[in-house]
Amino acid sequence: QDHLQIRTIYSVDNTITLNQRARTSWGMALMILEYFLHKTGPLTMPPSQLGAFAKTDSNQPTANIEWHVQPLSLDKFGSPLHRYNAITPSVCNVHPTSRGQVTLRNQDPNSAPLIQPNYLSTEEDRAVAVAGLKFTREIMASPALVPFTPQELKPGAHLTTDEELIHAAGDLGTTIFHPVGTCKMGKDPMAVVDDRLRVHGVKSLRVVDASIMPTITSGNTNAPTVMIAEKGAELIKNQYHN
């Protein structure tokens, strides 16, 4: 499993985004100078400067979507920033039900595996994607943001039906770098490790990372992975001490 982020883009006015600050060599030099002199500015920023959780349905027991908002925009990771002022409100389903698969490409152990995330493969995930995009539109149209005249560039305000938004979610969606579960813990035929992180049927081999999660966590996976590592280290130490 993985958290799929749908990276919408809105142009904005009457403010400065990283698109504008990083547009020229002079702007880049000023950011570097600000960091060296004051340890402030864009070079001190995390990837996203704003985060929020919400429910797309009041019947949900807890929040089921999350936003990561960035003061920049680009076509894809690794591409140059756009030359217009824009922000990226990225919306993410924190309880995905879609499951992908990892399979061997061939008999060569040096070959990269075949990875198929199967994003948006369930009706539940497609419904949450549509709801998340509509919720993002509501926020961007709120009175507090009127002075910045946000205009939806991606997926585009002309897309209004659920079918159009599902298609757009597939086009704009990308990993948020939280893949888990390829060596899940359990007792069923697809499980790889037991509750002591030992690989079924193999002596003296454990898996100690995010791949052992049977189901993805609703929050970011870093802290749970640290916990798994600490528990794994404790299990290994206890085994050798005994």
Alpha-carbon dihedral sign for residues 129, 131, 137, 142: negative
Residues in the chain: 242
Which pTM does this prediction carry?
0.91
Specify the DSSP class assigned to residue 56: S
Q: Name the residue type at position 126.
A: R
Question: Using CA atoms, how far apart are residues 192 and 183, in angstroms rounded to an integer?
Answer: 5
Q: Where in the chain is the domain with CATH 3.30.560.10?
A: 2-179
Q: Report whether 7 contacts 172 (CB < 8 A).
A: yes
By three-state DSSP, how is residue 45 classified? Answer: coil
Contact present, 73 and 81 (Cβ < 8 Å):
yes
CATH architecture of the domain formed by 2-179: 2-Layer Sandwich (3.30)
CB 48 within 8 A of CB 72: no
- Asked if residue 98 lies in contact with residue 122, where contact means CB atoms within 8 angstroms, the answer is yes
What's the one-letter identity of residue 231?
K
pLDDT of residue 47: 84
Q: How far apart are CA 85 and CA 152, in angstroms?
A: 12
Q: Which of 167, 178, 200, 241 is catalytic?
A: 178
Pair 105, 114: CB distance under 8 Å: yes
pLDDT of residue 242: 76
Token pair belonging to 139:
């926020």
Does the CA dihedral 99-105-107-112 come out positive or negative? negative
Known active-site residue 178:
yes
Please report the pLDDT score of residue 241 as a whole number: 85
- Identify whether the C-beta of residue 83 lies closer than 8 Å to the C-beta of residue 29: no
Mean pLDDT split into 10-residue runs, the chain, 242 residues: 98 95 92 96 92 94 96 93 96 97 94 96 98 98 98 98 98 96 95 97 96 96 97 94 80
| Predicted local distance difference test score (pLDDT) of residue 19 | 95
Cα torsion 68, 144, 155, 17: sign: negative
Residue 145 has which token pair?
């943001």
